[in-house]
Amino acid sequence: MVTAIVIPIICLYFFWITKKEMKQNDSNWLASAEVNKEAIVTGEIKSISQEKQRFYYHRYILIQELKLQTESKIISAKKITPIRNNIKIDTFPIGEMIRIYGCWEGNHFHFSEFEIIQKGD
């Protein structure tokens, strides 16, 4: 009698915890693309690398890392994009001048918004 009551309650409790955890991880996955626009960096794209990483079970992110030659040094900039069904992946042509908006995280620049500029600007 006690088993017939306790086991379904335990199963429902773990189901509720799992749903709550999945909802939290989904919101973290979507928030991984959001970046505070605290700084602006302008430079020429020297190299590009892309990597697909697992974020949480069936959720993936695309990390695009750019090496930019600014007026004074080469910096590393990262763009993180959650991979969805209808995703449009940004392409960055090597040799183009680019202005990126984001913030510094450690020794790399994390950005979410960019614009390709003309060499004369």
For 43-76, write each residue's pLDDT tens digit: 999 999 999 999 988 899 999 999 999 999 999 9
The pTM of this model reads 0.82
What pLDDT, on the 0 to 100 scale, is given for residue 2? 76
Distance CA 65, CA 77 (A): 6
User: Strands (DSSP E) along the chain, which ranges?
Assistant: 39-56, 59-69, 74-82, 97-105, 108-117
What pLDDT, on the 0 to 100 scale, is given for residue 120? 59
What pLDDT, on the 0 to 100 scale, is given for residue 52? 95
Residue appearing with tokens 């697909």: 52
Parts of the chain with a pLDDT under 50: none
